[in-house]
Amino acid sequence: MAATLDRHGRGFYLVTPVLESMALSKAAGTRVYMKLENVQPTGSFKIRGIGYFCQEAAKNGCKHFVCSTGGNAGLAAAYAAKKLGIPATIIVPTNTSQDTVQKLEEQGAEVEVFGKVWDDAYVKALALAETEGWNSVHPLHHPLIW
């Protein structure tokens, strides 16, 4: 997958380094390399697939994103939405940390706390996508994400 671009032609994600871990290599008895996705703007690899999904949805006229998450997928959706200039609503369960909620809000997302677990938040996100005509960003399963 090529690097995805925002509305200004800038990439959503970084080409991250691959470094050998001497400690893990020693413990495993073989060379162990780490892909440092933690240096992505959103702190995880999720921006790669979700950024691409959001870019494609934007090309097709998306007016609003909705995503259920416990953290990283929502951060990726909120970041991509902000870069694309499209509103995002992120649905999180009650067990989501306040730090995560704050990070989502800092990306410009509207955050709604709903349900005890992710499954509850997912049902709410799907309902909003249906009733409001928003694009649902599944945090795990969509061909464009993988």
Where in the chain are the domains?
46-137
pLDDT band at 4 (very low <50, low <70, confident <90, very high): low
The label of the residue with tokens 């893990």 reads 24
The label of the residue with tokens 């994103």 reads 65
Where are any strands of DSSP class E within 64-113?
Answer: 65-68, 88-92, 110-113
Does the pLDDT of residue 87 top 50, yes or no?
yes
Q: pTM here?
A: 0.86
Residue (of 56, 59, 65) closest to 1 by Cα position: 56
Instruction: Tell me if the domain spanning 46-137 has CATH number 3.40.50.1100.
Output: yes
pLDDT digit string, tens, across residues 16-67: 899 999 999 999 999 999 999 999 999 999 999 999 999 999 999 999 999 9
The label of the residue with tokens 């703007």 reads 41
Return the DSSP state at 38.
Answer: G
Residue (of 137, 141, 122) closest to 53 by Cα position: 137
pLDDT at 143: 72
pLDDT digit string, tens, across residues 98-140: 999 999 999 999 999 999 999 999 999 999 999 999 999 988 8
User: 3-class DSSP state for residue 127?
Assistant: helix
What CA–CA distance (Å, rounded) separates 88 from 99?
18
